Structure 1
């Protein structure tokens, strides 16, 4: 019988019943697959998400951009600085509000995004490939539903299309 300061075998095995544990682990696995597929580009999944949003929403302010991918102001600032250093995006002050910073993808960023698309998609496909084909869309809908329903608990709000 376990003491108060030890876990029983049942407690350890219950990790497989904890959504947070499984989601965190699946995220780790997906990031590893993404980095494997996209190693030649030296871009993280978050940076790829930023480039993807900027490709369809040019001259977007940093706060709105962060909300589009669900990351906070401090994190988005660092991500944008690294992308700007590589010449993949530009940042400038807004003409309307000088405190507001706008970001836009550069032609080099668009070119990189196009080169990455197939390999990034392969990482996404590999992540859910173990599921039967007929379950994949339902799984993605369930994930989107959970994210939307629990959105208020995140560090920043996420706006799913």
Structure 2
């Protein structure tokens, strides 16, 4: 990996941390407690389409670990939920991306849906509370809207950055 690409990935991680921290200041009161749109996922989707699956993993895991460290939630329940959702999301996005069947919109929606599936699974295992699975249909519906928004923003950024990427 070149030094220039390393610096760009570090900037993407930093931007993702900033987005995650900003979003944490604005609680979204909805039917589902703790729901967030996930604007920090813009940088992950950008990294996937600009550089590839390995760089998606670097950017997303780096963002999750460093943002949790900065928020003081490293190795706590919110961190475990974030990592679990992130791993499920990255796996779904990488498989969808490699299949060449889905557009950036489909990849983003799948990532958002699997993020919520991973978090609900983690809550179910951590707390042995199966009632959280009742929120899954609402979470998946919200994931479609959030995934579309994230994909729209990422696609516009990728279009504007065309020819300027390493």
TM-score by length of 1: 0.29
Between Structure 1 and Structure 2, which shows a larger proportion of strand residues?
Answer: 1
Greater relative contact order (Cα < 8 A, sep 6+): 1
Between Structure 1 and Structure 2, which shows a larger proportion of helix residues?
Answer: 2
Instruction: Point out the structure with max Rg over C-alpha.
Output: 1
